[in-house]
Amino acid sequence: MPAPTALITGGTSGIGKATAELLHERGHRVVVTGRNPDTLAAARKSLPADVVVLRADARSVADADRVAQEVRTRFGSLSTLFLNAGISRAAPVGAVDEATFDELMDTNAKGQFFTLQHALPLLTDGASVVFTVGIGATRGLAGGSVTAASRGALLAMVPSLAVELAPRRIRVNAVSPGAVDTPIWAKAGMPPEVVTEHVAARIPFGRLGTAREVAEVVAFLASDAASYITGENITVAGGSGVAA
């Protein structure tokens, strides 16, 4: 019997890369996608040699089709689809322009939906689909309205997709990380000391999460241990939002 195969969008850094490493450790054949030339090159060097790294723009339906065809040619089927690609743009409502709105919606919502659509014929009966959403979709953050809406669209899809795909025993769930120690903070121009003072200090656990901790939850949802879980959203946030 062939090893299970996982496709991870946005898999060249952060949570996606950590999940690729973990699933590979546990015997999966792994395909990751990304669009940044630097992270693609770094992933090809640092991930195991048999992990397939593909360039794909999460906004592009044509790229979603191309990736699906590549997976079909190489492996024939998929047992796990981790729809993790996404971007964040913080701006007050009065400063959001149409181009930013469209980029967020196209990358975070449309791209993930059509990747699922093109991958669907490859998914084996009993496969696992996991979306990355994030706690911002359900908890208010000034300047986060459009990012939250684009990620929240995925969360709104989960119950309907879970019901629709249940006859094939395909499980559809979401994982919602809180503040996680990934390159996203540096990209946003936040020095480590600022992250510690203003972000980590507000988390009941007193620290940022790690990409590996989120990857462990994704790996659980991909495993037979989660065979009776579908239509759910698991928050991985160190207690953020729990305390009064």
Judge whether 121 and 196 are in contact, CB under 8 Å.
Answer: no
Ranges of each domain in the chain: 5-182+210-236
Task: Determine the average pLDDT of the residues in 112-139.
Answer: 94
Chain centroid offset of residue 144 CA: 18
3-state secondary structure of 31: strand
Segment 192-219 mean pLDDT: 85
pLDDT one-digit tens code per residue, 137-181: 787 777 778 888 999 999 999 999 999 999 999 999 999 999 888
- CA-based R_g, the chain, Å: 17
Angstrom distances, CA of residue 185 to CA of 15, 103, 176, 180, 181: 13, 20, 17, 9, 8
**Per-residue model confidence as pLDDT tens digits over 224-239:** 999 999 999 999 999 9
Is the domain spanning 5-182+210-236 CATH 3.40.50.720? The answer is yes
Sign of CA dihedral 186, 190, 194, 195: negative
In this model, does residue 194 exceed pLDDT 70? no
Whether pTM > 0.75 for this model: the answer is: yes
Average confidence score pLDDT of the chain: 92
DSSP state of 204: T
Residue given tokens 């690609």 in the structure block: 85
